[in-house]
Amino acid sequence: MHIPSLQASVSPEEWQLRCDLAACYRLVAAYGWSDLIFTHISVKLPDSVTGGDHQFLINP
């Protein structure tokens, strides 16, 4: 199964935040913290990316 990359569709700044968020999820899983009941990790996209809207990236 091929899942196309979003890298060409987003700004370099947003792409870096997406990579950092993915790395954070991997670290949480590696340390066994992913089974906590209220565990979630999110990042707010900067205004330079969203045009002033409040947008977040979060794993459902």
Does residue 4 lie within any of the structural domains? no
Residue 43 has pLDDT above 90, yes or no: yes
* Mean pLDDT score, 20-29: 91
pLDDT for 38 equals 67
Does residue 3 lie within any of the structural domains? no
Confidence of residue 59 (pLDDT cuts 50, 70, 90): confident
* Residue 19 belongs to domain spanning: 11-58
Residues 6+ apart with CB under 8 A from 7: 15
Does residue 2 lie within any of the structural domains? no
Other Cβ atoms less than 10 A from the Cβ of 24: the count is 14
Does residue 6 lie within any of the structural domains? no
With tokens 């199964």, the residue in question is 1
Tokens of 12: 């370099």
Are 43 and 25 in contact, with CB atoms under 8 Å apart? no
Does residue 36 lie within any of the structural domains? yes
Are 43 and 57 in contact, with CB atoms under 8 Å apart? yes
Distance CA 41, CA 50 (A): 19
Does residue 35 lie within any of the structural domains? yes
pLDDT for 37 equals 62
